[in-house]
Amino acid sequence: MDIGFIGLGNMGYPMARRLVEAGHKLVVYDTSGQMMSRLTSLGAVAAKSAKDVADQVETVMASLPTPDIVLAVATGKDGVIEGKKVKRFLDLSTTGSRMAVKVADALKVKNITAIDLPVSGGVGGAEKGTLAVMYAGPRDGFDELKSVISVIGKPFFVGEKAGMGQTMKLCNNLLSATATAASSEAIVFGVKAGLDPTTMVEVINAGSGRNTATEDKFPKSILPRTFTFGFAMGLMYKDVKLCLEEAEAAGAPMRIASAVRDLWQLANDEIGPDKDFTEIIKVLERRAGVEVKGRRNG
């Protein structure tokens, strides 16, 4: 299939690369010429703008960092909406349901179908093609695109209404953010009380407290003190904040999530939005006067 791909960042590049390697003709655009060059060397075709992508293919995918950027790329000047050939816009970003509806309504005027297609699984999942891919849009479109989506991960049909995929993604990311925040609090407390953090993680992962943070983020990024998991602090805070805003608009109370958001906001302000999100533990370490370090680091 001929596919357009806009946004070649930490998540976008490995997904686009997998599509090229699977034999799809890919037309790509990114503000970074270097990232486009990496893909054109694999056989992709470089475009000059989002509009240029949409002039060349019927199916356009986008993986972008913020809702406002998605709106601009999809509906702004030289955006997808001005393309001559495009028929479908698949948004792999995390924007929230209200923005997804706004984009869908704008594109519908031009007979372009907007499809929620957020993903979960991190950079590692994008590289391996093991992402959870949440599709919300026309059912017949899901059946048609399933083989393409399967290149980047496991596709799930979550509904036909615009925004349903985004709601699913925000619920997922809230749980991921909560697991990381709560696990960081628990491990810091244990270290302060004299426990070894590596032993703590091993015990938790053998017991009922195990979660995605203790199984993945602590061993790979926190205990070795590399903090290179591959997702920005600012993006995690954005997702949690957006989830609470969407829940409030829907009339669904979220008391635990409010506390989680406050901790991520503190980490975002204190550590910095560009830092790896696993550095949230440093906020707790500073206040407890300890450092969580795996045995291999002494």
Which of the residues are catalytic?
Answer: 169
Question: SS3 for 135?
Answer: strand
Closest CA to 162 of 101, 206, 210: 101
For the chain, the C-alpha Rg in angstroms (whole number) is 20
**At 5, phi and psi to the nearest 5?**
-135, 120
Long-range pairs for 108-112 at CB < 8 Å and ≥24 separation? 110/81, 111/87, 112/80, 112/81, 112/83, 112/86, 112/87, 112/88
Distant-in-sequence, close-in-space partners of 140: CB < 8 Å, separation ≥ 6: none
Q: To which H or E segment does residue 60 belong?
A: strand 59-62
Three-state DSSP string of 81-117: HHCCCCCEEEECCCCCHHHHHHHHHHHHCCCCEEEEC
What are the tokens at 125?
């999942």
Strand partners, 197: none
The C-alpha atoms of residue 222 and residue 209 are separated, in whole angstroms, by 17
Question: SS3 for 42?
Answer: coil
Q: CB of 129 within 8 A of CB of 18?
A: yes
Q: CB of 222 within 8 A of CB of 281?
A: yes
